Structure 1
Amino acid sequence: MNRIERLAPRLEEPLLVTGLVNVRYLTGLESSNAAVLVDPAGAATLYTDFRYAEAARDVDGVEFHQTPRYVVTALAELLSGRRVGVEAAHLSLASADTLRTGGVELVSTTGLVEGLRAVKEPGELEALRRAGAISDRVYTELGEQPFVGRTEAELAWWLEQAWHEAGADGPSFGAIVAFGENGARPHAKLRDEPIPEGTLVVVDAGCSVDGYASDCTRTFFTGQPDGRLREIYDLCLQAQIDGLAAIRPGAIGRDVDAASRVAIEAAGMGDHYGHGLGHGVGLDVHEEPNLRPESSSVLEAGNVVTVEPGIYLSGDVGVRIEDMVVVTDDGCERLTAVTKDPVAVG
């Protein structure tokens, strides 16, 4: 059964899929301007303009309809008088107004395609394993690079090149390289300041393979991994190990998140771990399911999620340790397996 056939029984009315990653997931078409209408009976029509027409004609199992440049404007006429579901997370207010003005009755929906995407197929897992293996190789090589005296931006550029050299399509997101007080910002911006000795450097980066992402974070020591910095690192590592141990089919996202907080809160540092434990990974770097304090996601075998607790001491240093894992029948399998032993770099 293909993906459209799996989606159709979930629908109460035809669904107009406008999220471009969802269009790609359902049809294989990579486009900056496309939509697909899926009927509850299983029929599907793919809409795009001249630029993507040849590729669209090659898509099996769908009818292709070429539109002018503005697909939504064309759909307002083509679907006039019909009631269709739309993806609330992906359809802009302007596009919704265009459809309504054209006489289309819209029904808001959320998560219908994303629910399918959350459980990975064997081919998807293969791409994610390849991305994880490349990530391991690049992080191992990164640990052999000089850090001291180089800037965060220089190391990020090294990573950009390393992904290509290792066989990836490129980065899956802009790398975070952050030392000292910058490391205490979970989404730190790159700086051109030289990295000193005696600090921690958080590196959060990933690559893309056949459209599927890796996501991994390691924290490096510029100097001996001992003293106060080692204590903070070991505490974060224990939290990550506890989070990994809580992952299994049937586990609820908020409970997995809670397991990762026990050690940090016991050490009196709970206020310094201010984000969720993790998120799904696939065609998007951030997708379903989520591991957060408010998450009601129920894990299933085939989900791929990150496990990434962090400790952030404002104005001082930060630590984050992250692996990407696939949920298995009895736990989880790490897709990023580079060492989590403290790594000292020069």
Structure 2
Amino acid sequence: MLTEAGCRARRAQLWKSVPSAVEWLLIADPRHVLYLTNFWIHPNTFSSGERCWLLLEREGKATLLGDNFSLRSRAADPFIDDEVMVQWYDHQHSVINRDHALLKAAEQIADRLYGRNGVVEAEWLAVGAFELLGLDHEQHSVKREAKDLHKPGAVDLGTTLRALRRQKHPDEVAVLKECMRAGEAGMKRLREIVRPGISEFEIFCEVQKAATEAAGRPATIYGDFRAASALQPKVGGLPTNHKLENGEMFTLDYSVVLEGYRSDFTNCLTVGKPNAEQQRLFDLVSAAQRNGETVLKAGTRASAVFNAVNQPILEAGLADKFAHHAGHGIGLAHPEAPILVPQGDDVLVAGDVVTLEPGLYVEGIGGIRIEHNYLITETGYERLSQHEISLT
């Protein structure tokens, strides 16, 4: 899980990123509340989908706002100084609109914010909160013109936080590595069970069990659990009841989510012995991934990484069969910046965690995609995922 030192360091970075005149910040995106405090509501609890808000004050105080069930559904102890809890349900009386309970919590801190310069995460904050706190909705609305963001004192808090999220702190990397180890266990289980006659859904269940057991706690599992064929080379999405047939290529491109962070890596196995054309596709995507690795380091443009990955595929005359990005950032979201695309403006920074995932989808042969995860450093990278990539 995230550490107190990491949460406090991220809050300090956030304060350095906003004008010195700003005295308070109201954070509403649940991912950002987690990022700054270690508070999150586990998706496997009955309060899944609910949220709390975070008030940060310049002098260092962090206060969580929410209803009694949301605050008590915490998956771990948050690193905060105070909480404002409104009773929503007491097992004796009918409940009110739960969003209104959250507004009532905000109402309790409104007086101490009046007259002070503050910024809210407008994209996630309800209009009712603007009215309650006496804020000028036009100045904080996400609909404001882009030029307004450059006015003195203007702060796009959501975008500021997303930019900070790119440079992962050690406690974030530690959680990501736990996600990787769990994901690797699922990949290992896939190798043990792939055979003609097993269904995509059966594979999903077995992979989910192996990954969750390796994590040692409830986890969220999602991704592509699909078999491609010569007639249908590009498929993706949740598993079906389709039973694997000899000669197909099964792609497992999936994520294990722990404490809001995730892995995202891929391998493709042939059902039965690979033929020469399937092996050729595998050799090409492997060369593409290796070539991409040669340019992974801080300061490299995302477009340059894409071009490096694409080069072996381009030389083989199959560029039109590589129909997606060469990789992307991961962390609290999927995908997130940087996106490795030919016309991207992103530049890699130390602390980015990115994927490299070349793929080829050729009618008459099948579809293949492979993927590893990397922590970007000033001089290169650390590969975080250690699963075996091969066709069998």
TM-score interval w.r.t. the shorter chain?
0.7 to 0.9
Cα deviation 1:115-171 (Å, max 9, x = unaligned): 222222222222222322232233123212232111111111111111122235345
Does residue 65 (structure 1) correspond to residue 84 (structure 2)? The answer is yes
**TM-fit CA distance, 1:47:** 1.2
The range that moved more, 277-286 or 181-190, is 181-190
**TM-fit CA distance, 1:272:** 2.1
**TM-fit CA distance, 1:247:** 0.8
**TM-fit CA distance, 1:195:** 0.7
The range that moved more, 76-85 or 47-56, is 76-85
Gaps of 5+ in 2: 1-7, 42-49, 88-97, 143-155
Q: Secondary structure of the equivalent of 1:159?
A: helix
The amino acid across from 2:34 in the alignment is: R
**TM-fit CA distance, 1:274:** 2.0
The amino acid across from 1:105 in the alignment is: D
**TM-fit CA distance, 1:196:** 0.7
**TM-fit CA distance, 1:266:** 2.3
1:44 corresponds in structure 2 to: 62
**TM-fit CA distance, 1:54:** 5.3
Larger gyration radius, structure 1 or structure 2: 2
Give the structure with the larger strand fraction: 1
Q: In 2, distance between residues paired with 1:211 and 1:88?
A: 22
2:223·2:238 contact (CA, 8 Å) conserved in 1? no
CA RMSD of aligned residues (A): 2.8
Matches within 5 A, 1:187-336: 187-313=236-362, 317-336=366-385
Q: Which has the higher contact order (CA 8 A, sep 6+)?
A: 1
1:86 corresponds in structure 2 to: 120
The range that moved more, 165-174 or 327-336, is 165-174
1:133 corresponds in structure 2 to: 181
Task: State the number of aligned residues.
Answer: 339
2:198·2:243 contact (CA, 8 Å) conserved in 1? yes
Cα deviation 1:21-52 (Å, max 9, x = unaligned): 11011111113221113345544332111114
Matches within 5 A, 1:86-235: 86-87=120-121, 89-91=123-125, 95=126, 97-102=127-132, 103-106=134-137, 107=140, 108=142, 109=156, 110-181=158-229, 184-185=233-234, 187-235=236-284
Q: In 1, distance between residues paired with 2:340 and 2:382?
A: 17
1:30 corresponds in structure 2 to: 40
**Which residue of 7, 27, 30 corresponds with 2:14?**
7
Q: In 2, distance between residues paired with 1:54 and 1:154?
A: 35
TM-score, normalised by the number of residues in structure 1: 0.86
2:268·2:390 contact (CA, 8 Å) conserved in 1? no
Q: Secondary structure of the equivalent of 1:2?
A: helix
**TM-fit CA distance, 1:201:** 1.1
